[in-house]
Structure formats: structure tokens, C-alpha cells
Structure 1
Amino acid sequence: MKILLLGGFPGSGKTAVLNRVIRAIARLEGTSAVIEGEIGPMEADSAPGGEGRIAVEPLFRGCACCKLSGDPVQAVGRIADEVNPDWLVAEMTGLAMMDGVCAAFRRGGRPDIPVHPVCVVDAARFGVLSGVVGPVLEGQLRGAELVLVNKADVVRPTGEQLDLIARWADGARVRTVSAGKTEDTVLWQIILEGIGEAQ
């Protein structure tokens, strides 16, 4: 099992990306599980409380919905043991900091389960948001392996904006996409190439 962690500010298009990803995996005959309910903030120096529990419901063609309670890191380990999909796709809350969530997985997760953090950025609102909530956006980008600059069909990001995103993301790959219009398997291939998992 591999984990795709989707982060980004509210309205950036995380859910659209998630839906396309699970459809693409199904079309390619793979299996996936989706965490229902977004993963909330997990500080790097605090341990989530409670036993990790899951309730699994089948969705469609090799995709399952996993409802978590308690410790999400423990629950993810149970998903690996009990469901063992090819991919677990987890959507983080719109204000979660990527580096804090990744640190929690590094601290309490399993070394045999790779975690690929992907941050979705709203190209149409980035100029305004970076001036109003810049530290939040920077915190969400820090720790990402791949940044999807979404809604490029609405507004093409400027070179200056892309440079700022790349600087905040600190070495992550940056790809410009339109999740609402890109074919499912094409978007999935862009993600796989961006996280170094392309076949």
C-alpha cells in the first residue's frame, strides 16, 4: 500500500483531484481506499490520542471508503493490514499544515508504507490568498513532494507566482493542471510522475 496525502487551502480543488484519482485507479484495474472525513492538524511534537479504528464500506470497482476514529496514523496501519489497497487516498483539512501531518506519519507510521504528500493550490485565487493568508499557504506547501497548481484553465499563474510557490514548497515538483477538465488517467499520470511512482 502507498499513501497519497492531499492537502491545500479550502476551495483549491482537493476533492476534485481525489475523485479523479480514485476513478483513474479503478480504470487501470488497481485498488484504492479513501479516508472519509478529512485528516485534521497533527502537530509534529504531539501524539494523536485514542486507538485507531476503521469502518470499511465498499464503494465501486476495487475502491473502499474507510471511516476513521481515534489515532489516524494507527488507523492507516489497520487499513494496510485489513484492506491492503494499492493506494490509500487521504484528504487533509483545508487548514492542516503538510509538514506537521507528514511528521506524525514519520513518527508513528510504518516504514513499509510510503507517504506521498501532494498540495493543491488554487491558481485563480493564489494572488489574493498569498497576500492575506500567506503564512498558511506556505505552511501547507512546506513538506509537499508535489504541488498541483489547479484551475489553470481559469487563470494562468504568472511566473512570479510559480516562483513563489516553488520557493515555499522548498524543492517540491510543481505541475500546472486543470482537475475539472483533465481526463482522470491523465491527471493520475501527472501525479505519479510528480511523486516518482510512474511505471
Structure 2
Amino acid sequence: MILERDQWHLGYASLLRDCRGPSSSHDTSSPHIGRALLLVHPDSTDALATSRILSYMLRADGVPYQIRPCLGFERLKLILGSVGCLPKNDDANNDNGDNLIEDEYSNSTTTSDIKAVVLINMGANRNLSKLFLDHHHTTNNHTPAVRAYVFDNHRPYHLSNIHSGKNVVLFNDRPFEEEEIVSDGDNLSGDESSTSSEESDDDDDSSEE
């Protein structure tokens, strides 16, 4: 879904609810505080300033968080795997040391306490809906187990993120033109396989990193 600037407070309230959700759907009196994971593509001062502001807000609201740099979509999947949000990718071809670094952060438990993933300066033009829908089931009240919150001024938006329902929230900071939204064909929910062209784009991006 997409939130305009006058709706941003609703997105932040949703993030707080995700992290403060009850430990059990049958026990609303015993909240279990989940963590927020802030992933920042640190190629601009705006991104660093945004992460600083958000970290202050989360700290003031008593929500634990972690901030990590993230330089691309493949790195994003690697980090999410290391903290238990996605299945770990033990690709033997990845010999650039990233796996060794992420092992230091790896969550040793079978479940992750991360309830919200905040992407800063990245992610809006990638199929995040598919990434999260492929690996997460919804809870009993049909809310996603992990939700992605995206602050990214890169255009065009991936259309599946806009039509994703509840698992991806885009914070839009300015009006956009029609050509700034890339179509995802008939698969607006992102719950089907990626097209060959999209997979080719992924390969191109990974080769550039």
C-alpha cells in the first residue's frame, strides 16, 4: 500500500503495533515487544538523516531496533536470512565474505523477533511483496508476520508494492507521474513467480554490487 505524506502517522502507528503486538492471539494482556530492523542504503545524507530520526522516534516509544547498512537487493536477502526473516541462502558461489559477515549477526533461534523491516533509500522499485509473501504466512487476524516499511525516493515504484495489501507500506513524499510506476502485468499482488525479465534485472543488479 502507499501512504501520502499526510498519512505517514498511520504508517508509523502500524509499525508500533507490529512491534508491540501480544505474544499470543489469546493473551492480549501480555505484550511481546518485537524488534524493528532498519536497513539503510548509505549513499546519501538524506538516508542517514532519516535513519537517525527514526531511531530517535523508536527509542522514545520504547521499541528495540537495529540499524544495518545494505548495499543492494541481494545483500538485503542475505541480511534478512541471517536474522531469521527469510530462509538462509547458503550459496557456495557467494565467496566474497558476505556470508561470513552475516554469520556473526545470525539469529541462532528458529524464530525471529523482528516484526518490522524498515528500508531506507532502497526497495521501492523491487518486488518486495513477492519477497515477503513467499516466505511468510499471515497471522490469525490476516496481518503479515513481518511487514516492510519503505522510505525511498527512487522511481519508478514497483506496482506490486502499491497493490500488496498489508505486507508492504510505501511512504510517498511527493506526487508522482504515471510513468513513474512500473507495471507488474496481471500479477499485482506479487504472489506469482517473477517474470524472466525481472529475474534478469536481479542478475544485473547483483553483478554490479
Q: TM-score range by the shorter chain?
A: 0.3 to 0.5
Name which structure has the greater RCO, CA cutoff 8 Å, separation 6+.
1
Which structure has the larger Rg?
Answer: 2
TM-score, length of structure 1 as denominator length: 0.40
